[in-house]
Structure formats: C-alpha cells, structure tokens
Structure 1
Amino acid sequence: MTDEIHSLNDNNNPSADTSSDKEEIEILTSTQQSMAQNKPKNKVFAFASLCVISAFIGGLTTVAVIPHIYPTTSTAMQTSNSSFTQVANLTATETNFPVAQIAKNVGPAVVGVSNLQSSRSFSGNSGLQETGSGTGFIIDAKKGYIATNNHVIDGAQKITISLSDGRNLDAKVIGADPRTDLAVLQISDTTNLTAVKMGDSSKVEVGESVVAIGNPGGEEFARSVTTGVISATNRTLELQGEASYNLIQTDAAINPGNSGGPLVNYQGQVIGINSVKYAETGFEGMGFAIPISDALPTLQQLINSGVAKHPALLVSTDDQYNTYAKSNNKPQGAYISGVTLNGPAAKAGLKQGDVITKINDGLVQNSSDLIRELYKNNVGDKVTITYIRDGQTKQVEVTLGELAST
C-alpha cells in the first residue's frame, strides 16, 4: 500500500518535481505551537500529481532555518502597516452564521487562479496553455492583493484570475516563497472587490465546524462549498521544503484545484489556507491547511518587500540516520550531513556527523522537528543547540542567519 500526499493543483506540472536528497532544510521562523506528533508516514510526491494540493517540493535543502514566517501569533495580528483585516477574538456571545450566509459573504472573495505556460501542439505551433489551476482569496480589496499557494503559480509565464462576477484578469506576482508554499498576487482592476476577514488559527479547537471554498477541477466548479470539522491541529507531514508542520487537519472535502483556497470558521473568518490532501487508497476526508496566523507574517513580508526572510542554520540533514539509530539503539535526532562554510552552524563549531537532539528546550528527533523548532525563532536570534558527537552530549549557542526567498 503506498502513501501519497497530493497537491490540489488541477493539472500535472512536470517542472514542479524537485524532490532531492535533503540538501537544504529551509526553515521558517516562528511557529506558534510545537507540532510534531502523529505524522503520517508517506512518500512525498511533488505537486506534479493531478490529485495533489500542494507542491511540497524542494528536497530538504540546506537546513536553512527558514522563514520567520510563522511567528507566534497573538490575538491581534493587525499592525499599523498591515494589509489585512484581522478579527479580534470571538466571545462566547457571538453566534455562528449558517453555511449559506458564509458562502454568500466569503464566496465573492474567492478567485480561480490559472497557471499558463508555453507548450507546443502537435501541429508545431507554440503558445501559452493552462498547465495547472488552483484557488486564491482576496486579502486587500483596495490594492487587489490575492493570497494563494506558491505551488499553484510555480513556473507560470502568465497568471489569470477569474472573479466571482465573471471577470478574467491578468495578475502579477508580488512575491512567492517556496519554503512556506505561500504567494501573493495582484490584479490592477480593483472595482467591486471583496476581501476576506482573517481569524486567529491559534484559537481553533478540534471538532470545530469549518467551511472550505475553492475551485475543485477548475473553473467549471468554481467556488464550491464543502463543510466539515477540524479533525486535528499541529499535524506534521513528511514533506520536503515546505511548511509541513503545525497543519490543520480537516475532513471537509478538498479536491484538486482547492489549493490556495480558504478554510473558514463559522464566523466567516479565514483560519487556514487549504494546501494538502492525503490521498492513499482507502483514506477519506484527510485534508490539511496552513494556519492563517502562521501564514500572515509571511504574506505581509511578501507584500512589503517581495521576499520572505527566514532565519537560517545552514546545514544539510539526512533522516536515513534514524533508521540506523533505531537498529543500533542510538538516540534519534537530526543528523548533520553537511555544513555550509562560514554559516551560522559552522561558526558555532557544528560538524558533519553531529546529531542535533534539541533546539533550546524543544525536542528534535528528525529533520521535521528541527524545522519546527527553528521556526519558533527569528533571524539573529541566539539559540542553544544540544547535539551528540562521538557518543557525548554537547551544547553550543548559535546565532541564526538569514535566507530570503527568491
């Protein structure tokens, strides 16, 4: 039986298959919660698959401590320079909307995203054709900003946005970050646009009702509405080069084309970005979303500067070590297979063959744990790394470096 993780892109995208040997673990900063329990063990298929909702690509490349994109988020995400409408914590007196009202309120802010790339027909003529499609949602109606997944627009030579009123508009990429699988697009015609309201995903509870809105299969089924509950939080998937930790799991139906669409609570607030579907034969209702409170800092960085900056350790890791460790009764951890010259880890004295077991007080048993713990920090932060060398446990302080999305 083969485990599969599928991105929700509508069409295959051969250029998207970039899985490699864990050259660089890029790590986003600031996660709100420790997440790594109950990981589904699966093979990762690049979002080249039809049935896939997240192009979780990029072989764990250089454990560059990726973005400090997911900082610990408090209730109020709104800042003076924020482009987003952030809703304060709900009180017990606030009531839920019926699904029909949620669809009516949020639906107009949900858009279709078409990825157009060059192709050559059998007749020998070349031109742009849709190679994939997904979903996005408007986060700033005045400026025409749209949030989606990076894998939805990866490799695009032209991007077309389809609005709920029937308009089809060209979009430009404001910024994209493969490490978090997030992207911000912009359309120039902002006439009669509606933006979503952001919720606080750190407050969601298992069993809470949610609504997913998106374009499964493309424009033919645009703005389809499905309902379900939050099945679990803090899920970690073994996905390379992506925001594969702290995910929200839901049983709301998510299908190819839903990638980049909003997961909404019953107050009509976006709490997640639908990004992954677990699609092993026999499994039903296992979709995953990036928590919105984790995603907002990255989206804001992309809007402000076009890039997302991440704290970086700059080492390569190899989880094959853990199979060896288990068989030989050795401690589990993140095995360092390479260290970037003059990088933060190298300057601190870490070497190939060291096994990282903790970042500060956070337990590290594999590369995903390492990413999770590094994500809790920012560029320039000093962290204490516990590691094993030649059978002895040691500690060292490391000042995290910086990586920027390209």
Structure 2
Amino acid sequence: MDEFNNIKDNEKESDGISEETNEQTAQPNSANLTQAEPLVEEKAVEKTIVKKQSVVSLWLSGLVGGLTVAVIGFLLLFNGVIPFQNETIPNNDTSNPTSSLIQTATTEDDGATDMLSDVGEAVVGVANIQNQSLWTESNDAGSGSGVVYKVEDDRAYVVTNHHVIDGANSIEVILADGERVEAQLHGSDELTDLAVLSIDKEHVSTVATFGSSDDLVVGETAIAIGNPLGEEFAGTVTKGIISGVNRSLTVDSNQDGQADWTVDVLQTDAAINPGNSGGALINSQGEVIGINSMKIALESVEGIGFAIPIDEAQPIIDQLETEGEVNRPFIGISAVDFSTVPTEHVTQTLNLDPNEVSSGIVIAEVHPSSSAAEAGLETYDVITDIDGTAITNMMDLRQYLYQETSIGDTITVTFYRDGTQSTVDVTLQGE
C-alpha cells in the first residue's frame, strides 16, 4: 500500500454742493442781492437733502455691517471655528467628566455598554504551554481565547478551539485581571475545532449565555470579543454584521494537502485576528451565537471571518465535557481517494476500467474486528456509493457517516472488487 500512501486614490461720485459759477453774483447791487436769496434757500435745501442722504447712508452702512457680522459669525460657527456647546444631562459628580459624557448616550447605547461589560467578563484568554526540550523551560507556544459558558459544582467550564490547545503540555486560562489559572482539558475534537476546559469556579463571576444561530439572517449585528495578538489587547470588542450563513468550508485537519472535512460556518465582517480564536461572536442581546474560529488571511481579502454556529457547537461541547471525545459512526477502514491512484494501478492492481470507474475510495486496510471486517470488505475494494449517495472521496465518506447516520445504523455499501460491482450491508460501530 505504499503506492497509495505516496499518492490560493468706485466710480467715485462728488458729494456736497455743485461748483457752478454765476457771473451775476459777482456784482454787489441790490438786484443781485435780491436774486441771491433764492440761491441761498436752494443751497439750504440741498444741504438738508445731503444731510438726510448722509443719515440714510449711515443707517444703511450700519445695517449692512451688522448683517455682514452676523453672516460671518454664522459661517464660523457652522464650520466649527467657534465650537457648539453641547447640552448634557446634569451629573452631580463633577469630578468625572467621562461619566457625564456617557450619560448623553441613548438608552440603547447604555444597554449595549452594560451588555458588553457582562459578556466581556466571560471571555478569557487561553495559553498553550509546551515543553520544548528537557533543557529548556516551558513557554507559551500560542494563545487564543475562550468563553466561560457554565458553572457546575466546583468547576467553571470554558469552550475554545482545538487548534488553540493542540499539542499543549499544559493549559492556562488568563483572567480579565491578568491572573493565570491552570486549566483541565476535558476533551478536544479536531474535525469541528472545538475543545472544552475547566477551572476552579472561584475565579469566575460571569457566565456567557448561549443564544441560537439557526434563525440568524444576513445583516444582523455581530460582535466579536476576544484577545487578538495576545494579552496586551485582551477583551477587544469589534462590531460588524452577519455577512453570510450556512457557509461551507473545507478543512485539512491533518495538513496532508487533502480536504478532510467540510464545516458549516457563520461569516462576519467583525474583525477577527490571531488570538480571537475560541472567543465569542455575540448578537445585539449579548447571547453567544458562534465561537470565532478562523479568517481568510490574504492581502487581497478584508473583513471575512468565520465562526462555528453555536447550535452546531453545543452537541459537540456537551460530548467533550462529559465523554472527552466525540463518538461518531465508524466503518473500520483506512482508505485513499481513487483519484490519487495512478492509472496503471487502476487497471493492473484493481482490475478496473478507468472509463467505467472514475471516483470513489480505495480500501488500504480493514481494521480487525470492525464493522467492515464483519461485513466482508477487503483491501483494494473500491467503494463508490453508500445508500444511493455517491462517495467520491474520503471527505464524502465522513460527511455522510457523521451527518446522516448514527451508531447502530445499517448502511448499504456499493463497491467494486476485481472489476465486479457488489453491495454489502454494514452495521455501524462507534469509534
């Protein structure tokens, strides 16, 4: 079977009396004097008119000036040169200006602040402690976040991601005040990327409430709480919306280049960064609707993060807490994807026509005393169908068994052996 295993930018105007010359006024005789009296009266009238015009001009100038000042003042006020004076709700405590500012918020904002404060205390840090060698001290190999979801008896239970604690020699929970508390690992599941820890309940004052993810709609508020980039930014809150529901992502859990599992996730644009893993995605009521798990880390991609829906996570959390593992239906075989088998081995070893069979899984090993062994399946058998559902690769097999069947169910397996198609009933066991 070695052969199978080797197989993402102004005109200025004259003001006053006219300067016309009258030759008759230059000769001092009685006639001329008599004729001068109307001229004096005329000049007096002109002076009166001029005086009135001056008063009017002065009044108009004052009016225009006042209007100009008013307009300029309004513009300065409007553009912020002169600041607006805000009215705030009176606060008896004048020693804390921040307190009075908070009181100007709306009732909704007040409620949101209180809600975030409560939920934030239930989100903790999780440190993965590993021993590098016999000659070096233990150190933090990584850190993430966790959510305190339950207190029972003398223990407080914390859910986080499997990849946060994977490979740890010991695990510590980091509280809001920075205190580190040794944690007990109850169980971890690689496929769903979930793990359950517990600590002494004396360190916990707040427990998060699980909501529902099944009735979420795109556009709803989504708030992520966690410890991005480590303890320095503990309790960071980012806000966005639900960008998508029922997203399916393939996961290569064992890093062998082959997809092992498809997970259904919630998509959000609330910022999720390294260290947020295992933290809470909450709704506007402060209920946990998802466990933050991953993001698309590409320079060309922004605002695409994912969380495990809480309704799918809860059954796994319950099993990990009580059983330490997730017990799934199991056939009892090791296999490789048919697509990875070279054509010569398809024709010579499997005795199949590539034009007739083009997908499936090839059994590399049948586990002793397993359901497959009891049903008579053998090495080199090529499984192509289970209960009428096409099985094109190992991920299809896992998806069908883990989502469509239960331990104790009997399935009908269609397979090829030496070029001949056959079927067999297999009763599923637990792993």
Structure-to-structure mapping, 1:98-117, within 5 angstroms: 100=113, 102-117=115-130
Structure-to-structure mapping, 1:126-165, within 5 angstroms: 126-142=136-152, 143-165=155-177
| Secondary structure at the counterpart of residue 106 of structure 1 | helix
- Alignment partner, residue 383 of structure 2: 356
For residues 143-183 of structure 1, give each alpha carbon's deviation from its aligned partner in whole angstroms, at most 9, with x where no partner exists.
31111112211222222211224432121112223343322
How many residues align? The count is 310
Please say if 1:311 is aligned against 2:329. Answer: yes
1:237 equivalent among 250, 254, 259: 250
Please say if 1:188 is aligned against 2:188. Answer: no
Paired with 2:303 and 2:111, the residues of 1 have a C-alpha distance of 22
For residues 51-95 of structure 1, give each alpha carbon's deviation from its aligned partner in whole angstroms, at most 9, with x where no partner exists.
xxxxxxxxxxxxxxxxxxxxxxxxxxxxxxxxxxxxxxxxxxxx9
2:373 equivalent among 317, 340, 346: 346
Contact (CA 8 Å) 1:273, 1:292: kept in 2 or not? yes
Name the CA shift for 1:317/1:275 in 2 (closer, same or farther; >3 Å). farther
- Alignment partner, residue 300 of structure 1: 318
Report the CA distance between 1:102 and its aligned residue: 4.7
Contact (CA 8 Å) 1:249, 1:289: kept in 2 or not? yes
2:402 equivalent among 375, 382, 397: 375
Paired with 1:22 and 1:283, the residues of 2 have a C-alpha distance of 36
| Secondary structure at the counterpart of residue 365 of structure 2 | strand
1:118 equivalent among 131, 137, 141: 131
Name the CA shift for 1:245/1:383 in 2 (closer, same or farther; >3 Å). farther
Name the CA shift for 1:389/1:125 in 2 (closer, same or farther; >3 Å). closer
Paired with 1:381 and 1:338, the residues of 2 have a C-alpha distance of 22
Report the CA distance between 1:131 and its aligned residue: 0.9
For residues 246-265 of structure 1, give each alpha carbon's deviation from its aligned partner in whole angstroms, at most 9, with x where no partner exists.
23333332211111112223
Between structures 1 and 2, the one with greater helix share: 2
- Alignment partner, residue 307 of structure 2: 289
Report the CA distance between 1:355 and its aligned residue: 3.9
Name the CA shift for 1:391/1:236 in 2 (closer, same or farther; >3 Å). farther
Deviates more, 1:366-375 or 1:238-247: 238-247
Rg larger for: 2
Unaligned ranges ≥5, structure 1:
1-20, 24-41, 43-94
Report the CA distance between 1:359 and its aligned residue: 3.5
TM normalised by structure 1 equals 0.66
Taking only the aligned residue pairs, the percentage that are identical comes to: 40
Paired with 2:393 and 2:220, the residues of 1 have a C-alpha distance of 31
Paired with 1:350 and 1:248, the residues of 2 have a C-alpha distance of 39
Name the CA shift for 1:200/1:369 in 2 (closer, same or farther; >3 Å). farther
Report the CA distance between 1:116 and its aligned residue: 1.4
Contact (CA 8 Å) 1:238, 1:368: kept in 2 or not? no
- Higher RCO by CA contacts (8 Å cutoff, separation 6 or greater): 1
Paired with 1:331 and 1:353, the residues of 2 have a C-alpha distance of 15
Please say if 1:399 is aligned against 2:411. Answer: no
Letter in 2 for 1:133: S
For residues 116-151 of structure 1, give each alpha carbon's deviation from its aligned partner in whole angstroms, at most 9, with x where no partner exists.
12246xxx9632211110111001134311111122
- Alignment partner, residue 37 of structure 1: none
